[in-house]
Amino acid sequence: MPVGESSGRTRPDACPGALQVHEAADGPLARVRLPGGAVSAAQLRVLAGCAAELGSGVIELTSRANVQVRGLRAPEVFAGRIAAAGLLPSPAHERVRNILASPLGGRGPDGLLDVPAMADALDRALCARPRLAALPGRFLFALDDGTRDVAGLGADVTYVATGRLLLAGADTGLTVAPDAAVPLMIDAAEAFLDELSPDGPRAWRIRDLPDGPARIATRLRAGEPSLIDAPDAANAANASDAADAADAANAARRPSAGRIAQRDGRVAIEALVPLGRLTSDQAAALADLGRPVRLTPWRTVVLPDLSPGEADRTERALAAAGLATDPDSPWAGVTACTGRPGCAKALADVRADARQWVRGLGRAPATPVHWAGCERRCGLPRGPVRQLIATINGYEERQE
């Protein structure tokens, strides 16, 4: 949907959470928000235990670096366990804690900003504002450390390390220092609620509002006289060009694997999670490494701050758990929706079919491939994608 186009939605947002579960075809589904994609080893162990003992044995990674547990047999017990693990700091806000952050957190070659600390501060500020519990569950914040990896994902409110504020992916021309970024992002969320009409179509995102970014930016300028606008139109255009370049880069980005050099001489390892689904055993194996894990919007996992020796041992442990650390892995770029039996609308078990197809590959496909159980094509990645869509007569292939 283009920015500024009204959604025309008439029903309230029913995005699932840890308390408000979704009744899927395979049973209750709970979604746990992980601001900045951060999860500790202890928390991951709790999630693994919940998936094994209360659910279907699988933890799904989402495109917002959150997690889902399907087929819950005791949702109330699940909620109690994750709350005890510190994964439910505010029951009132649990569906609105949607915060993306650059997975390397400022450690990479182009990183300029400590976004993990900012994500923590944003989460605390969000939970401390009672009114913001009314945000739709699809409203999204993002913090980009200068890598331009999450700046192009179209979050409702994005802060980029250059100081720029983006609204629904559009450059507002507003610049703010990092220490003032979190309050401004909270103000932007408040402004979104101020713009909602009780009598008009429902809006779940800033892009659902006619001229949404401009309207929110106007409110921010009126409420924050100290905000700095771009000094001239040329600078604003350059910033807009940079945002467009980030959009293009992210549209073509595919899940990757392997070592990433950090500026401090240590390394991070990114591992592919086949079809974005961790078994409870794989999640437990990750927890056994005893290190914090960062989940990414591309359904991969990142383990930062490793010495070369630690990286060697970590790669072996990840490979033993069935997670790919080879950038040429056949799993790179292969995605799928839920399919049968989890989705009542699906016409095929697309995940099983995708796994069988991948087994016949020697390396990553040249173009990303998405398997879809029906015409809705849930989870379709951005950019050029080879689509295999289940129909009553088998799979139909499309290229877009």
Give the pLDDT band (50/70/90) at residue 24.
very high
pLDDT at 13: 76
- What's the pLDDT band for 2 if we cut at 50, 70, 90? very low
| Tens digits of residue pLDDT in 265-293 | 999 999 999 999 999 999 999 999 999 99
Task: Answer with the residue of higher pLDDT: 143 or 379.
Answer: 143
* Distance (Å, whole) CA 385 – CA 366: 10
| Model confidence pLDDT, tens digit, residues 34-46 | 999 999 999 999 9
**Above 80 in pLDDT, residue 235?**
no
Is 144 in contact with 157 (CB distance < 8 Å)? no
Give the mean model confidence (pLDDT) for residues 17-24.
95
Q: Can you tell me the distance from the alpha carbon of 276 to that of 290, in angstroms, rounded to the nearest whole number? A: 21
> What pLDDT is stored for residue 275 in this prediction?
96
> If pLDDT is split at 50, 70 and 90, which confidence band does 225 have?
low
Quick one: which of 23, 25, 68 has its CA closest to 47? 68
Q: What is the pLDDT of residue 245?
A: 45
Rounded Cα distance, 235 and 25, in Å: 51
Residue 248 pLDDT more than 60?
Answer: no
Domains (ranges, CATH) in the chain? 22-252 (3.30.413.10), 334-399 (3.30.413.10)
pLDDT average, residue stretch 305-329: 96
Q: How confident is the model at residue 18 (pLDDT cuts 50, 70, 90)?
A: very high
Our CA angle for 305, 308, 312, nearest 5°, is: 105
Query: Is pLDDT of 186 > 60?
Result: yes
pLDDT at 223: 84
> First-to-last CA distance in the chain?
16
**Which one is predicted more confidently, 337 or 231?**
337
Asked if residue 78 lies in contact with residue 330, where contact means CB atoms within 8 angstroms, the answer is no
Lowest-confidence region among 49-63, 148-162, 230-244, 377-391: 230-244
pLDDT at 7 over 80: no
Residue 236 has pLDDT above 80, yes or no: no
pLDDT of residue 11: 63
Query: Greater confidence, 191 or 379?
Result: 191
pTM of the model: 0.91
Distances (CA, A) of 132 to 25, 140, 218, 350, 389: 31, 12, 20, 37, 38
Kindly report the average pLDDT of the chain as a whole number.
Answer: 90
